Amino acid sequence: MSGKGRRIAIVTGASSGLGVEFAKQVDVSYELDEIWLVARREEKLRNTAGMLKKAKPVVLPLDLSKRESIKTISEMLDETKADVRVLINNAGFAKKGDFWEISLEKQLTMVDLNVRAMVHLCHICVPHMTRGAHIVNVASMAAFFVLKSMTTYGATKAFVLHYTYGLRKSLSKKGIHVTCCAPGPVKTEFFLVATEGKEDDMVLSVEPEGVVALALRDVASNKKLSIFSGAMRTGYLFRRYDPKDEED
């Protein structure tokens, strides 16, 4: 099915933060006809589109927590016979607080966006990929730790990590590179969303440019994990696996 149509990249969560930076750097790093920019906020997506220098932007204001949105993308892929060269699964969000204080609706939407949408997008894109295509799934350093204040978020990112490791083994025979990007705190609106506008500790936060640049280098080198900054790599080395390790 793949390789017959226009060469495209798909970047989700492309309205802000890492998604904007992925779109910009994918644009200059790959030879593409189009970059499909996916997120809910159309105006912000159009701002991202205006930053592209080479590929034609395709603005898709879709809520990926809803299955019909991914059906829309699937139909577009089939209609255009697109050759998906790059898939950046970046869309996701967190809510910070005790588990019982965060509404069930928000937690289930978090699972739908952070987990189900990623799996669904991989499933519809892989048939449109050929050897040399790249997938970056954005997890978090939260994937390696037990977080009392972001229980559901941390669990979704642990899923992203393990799913990505399994997917790269499955796709290795097809010559498709799959990398998990696991950043620590990044200077984006992430914590504003997680805390609903409250002040939050941004110690050791980094700029998104470096995180994205390393992730794209690492997927090109077919590395399974991309962790930016020495502080986060040190944290990874001392990660905890057993929930009993965290003090109550």
Instruction: Say whether pLDDT at 137 is over 80.
Output: yes
> Which pLDDT score is estimated for 2?
47
| Contact indicator for 172, 130 with CB cutoff of 8 Å | no
How far, in Å, CA of 206 to CA of 186, rounded? Answer: 5
- Contacts with 24 (C-beta within 8 Å, 6 or more apart), sequence order: 48, 51, 52
* Residue type, position 230, single letter: G
Q: pTM of this prediction?
A: 0.88
Q: What number is the average pLDDT over the span 185-198?
A: 55
In this prediction, residues 80-108 reach a mean pLDDT of 91
pLDDT of residue 99: 84
pLDDT in tens, 24-65: 999 999 999 999 999 999 999 999 999 999 999 999 999 999
pLDDT score, position 6 = 95
Helix 67-80 × helix 117-125 angle, to 10°: 10
Q: What are the distances in angstroms from CA 100 to CA 20, 96, 106?
A: 33, 11, 11
Catalytic residues: 153
Structure confidence at residue 231 (pLDDT): 57
For the domain spanning 7-242, the CATH number is 3.40.50.720
